[in-house]
Amino acid sequence: MDLILPSSGLIFWQLIGFLALLYILIKFAWKPILSSLEERENSIDSALKAAEQAKAEMANLKAENEKLLQEARLERDNILKTANEASAKMIEDAKQAAISEGAKMIEAAKAVIENEKKAALTEVKNQVAQLTLEVTDKLLRKNLSSDAAQKALVDEMVKDINLN
Partner 1 sequence: MFRKFLCLSVLFSAFLLTFSTPTFAAGDEEDKTGFIMHHIKDSYEWHFATLGHTHVTLPLPVILYSSDRGLEFFMSSDFQDPETHKFGEAFGQDVYYIDDHEHLHRADGGSFIDFSITKNVAMLFLVVIVMGYLVLSAASHYKKNGVSAPKGIASFLEPIIIFVRDEIAQKSIGPKYKKFVPYLLTLFFFIWIGNLMGLLPGAANLTGNIAVTATLAVLTFIIVNVNGNKEYWKHVFMTPGVPVPLLLVIVPVEIIGLFTKPFALMVRLFVAITAGHIVILAFIALVFIFESYAIGVVSTLMVTFLNVIELLVATIQAYVFTLFTAMYIGGAVAEHEHH
Contact residues toward partner 1 (CB under 8 A) are 1-15, 17-18, 20-22, 24-26, 28-34, 36-37, 39-40, 43
- 109 CB-near residues (< 8 Å, 6+ apart): none
CB closer to partner 1, 27 vs 110: 27
- 131 CB-near residues (< 8 Å, 6+ apart): 157, 161
- 49 CB-near residues (< 8 Å, 6+ apart): none
CB of 44 to partner 1, least distance (A): 9
- 161 CB-near residues (< 8 Å, 6+ apart): 128, 131, 132
CB of 7 closer than 8 Å to CB of 1:
yes
CB closer to partner 1, 32 vs 102: 32
CB closer to partner 1, 20 vs 88: 20
CB of 49 to partner 1, least distance (A): 16
CB of 1 to partner 1, least distance (A): 4
CB of 16 to partner 1, least distance (A): 9
